[in-house]
Amino acid sequence: MKKVLLLLPFLAATSLYAQNINELNKADVENALKVKTIDANPDSAKHWKLGGTVGANFTMTGLKNWQGGGQDALTLTGLFTGFANYVNGANRWNNLLDMGYGITRLGGGQDGTAPKLRKSDDRLIFTSKYTRSLNKNWGFAGLVDFRTQFDKGYKYDVAGKKADGVTDTITDQFISNFLAPAFLVNSIGFEYKNGEMFYAMISPLTSKVTIVGDKGLSDAGAYGVVPGKMTRSEFGAYLNTNFKYKLMENIQYQTNLNLFMNYKTPKLIDVFWDNAILMSVNKLVQVSFNTNLIYDDDIKIVQSDGAIGPRIQFKYVLAVGLTYKLNK
């Protein structure tokens, strides 16, 4: 009997130890399963934000016995803006694709004139920027910016002249095409960011490549390339800024400015400046006013008086259209 009493504490301790071992083993197995599950199903998608906007602008003008003059006109423009942004800790990668193409049909209505099709809008812009944050506002950044158009471009109704200076014919002058020109900017520098309202990228190390992929324009030395060459490379400094501000509950202003300075010609600065005022009437209807300003000393423009040289290029578009947002 005494032996049995002496063995009871030992048996109880052994049972308790075995129970603890079983519980520990069970916990280890569960943790191991959790680790395997995480490794097998990484949730990287939560770091991405995808979205975009699809739009169509439509305008029509009809004239009958209109003494003020003019032509019947029908304009249709398709627009698409898409983004794919990645954020993971101090790493940010922003991608933006902006496309637009518009056609205007002039005449051919009740005014009896022969219809003419003319391009009213044409752009293809892709921007990709990677940023490694250093603190709340500053970060190390690298950027790629590519700009071109989809279709051939013309300067319409150019007056041809004979040797005596008398106007001979009215023609459309071919001046651009897909990849003619195209501008590719590769830049490394620092970014300053203040929330979603403002950012600026400053880069002392930037290459700019002008591409003229059309042989006829290349042979003519268009857009600053050496005649017969299809590319022209420059190295310099670059500034890229973007500012957004909500003017009212349904009205937003946005401006984007790109400046490039070639170290060989520091007094000549290339300018790309875009402005937009967007007013949302409702979820589908939007009114927009956009302006685009370009100045590039390498782009020589022929004036009506025959003078050739760099000029400020300016375009504005006031449009009412349907838009649909794609967000994920």
The DSSP-derived string for 8-47 is: HHHHHHHHHHHHHHHHHHHHHHHHHHHHHHHHHS--GGGG
Tell me the β-bridge partners of 253. 245, 277
User: Which amino acid is residue 201, in one-letter code?
Assistant: M
Q: What is the pLDDT of residue 291?
A: 94
* d(C-alpha 52, C-alpha 95), whole Å: 11
The one-letter amino acid code at 81 reads T
Note whether 213 and 180 are within 8 A (CB): yes
Residue 21's pLDDT is what? 42
- 257 Cα distance to chain centroid: 12
Per-residue pLDDT tens digits of the chain, which is 328 residues long: 444 444 444 444 445 444 544 554 554 444 444 444 444 445 667 899 999 999 999 888 887 777 777 788 899 999 999 999 999 999 999 999 999 999 999 887 665 667 889 999 999 999 999 999 999 999 999 999 999 999 999 988 877 665 555 556 778 889 999 999 999 999 999 999 998 899 999 999 999 999 999 999 999 999 999 999 999 999 999 999 999 999 999 999 999 999 999 999 999 999 999 999 999 999 899 999 999 999 999 998 877 777 888 999 999 988 889 999 887 6
Residues 6 or more apart whose Cβ sits within 8 Å of residue 203: 141, 143, 187, 188, 189, 190, 237, 238, 239, 240
Give the CA angle between residues 234, 299, 146 to the nearest 5°. 55
Q: Quote the longest CA-to-CA distance of the chain.
A: 138
Angle (CA) 301 261 306, round 5°? 10
Q: For residue 205, how many other CB atoms are within 10 A of its CB?
A: 13
Neighbours of 322 (CB within 10 A): 12
Contact status, residue 151 vs residue 122, Cβ threshold 8 Å: yes
Please choose, from the candidates 221, 302, 212, 205, the residue with its C-alpha nearest in 3D space to the C-alpha of residue 261: 205
Could you tell me how many residues make up the chain? Answer: 328
- 37, amino acid identity: T
**CA 259 – CA 206 distance, rounded (Å):** 11
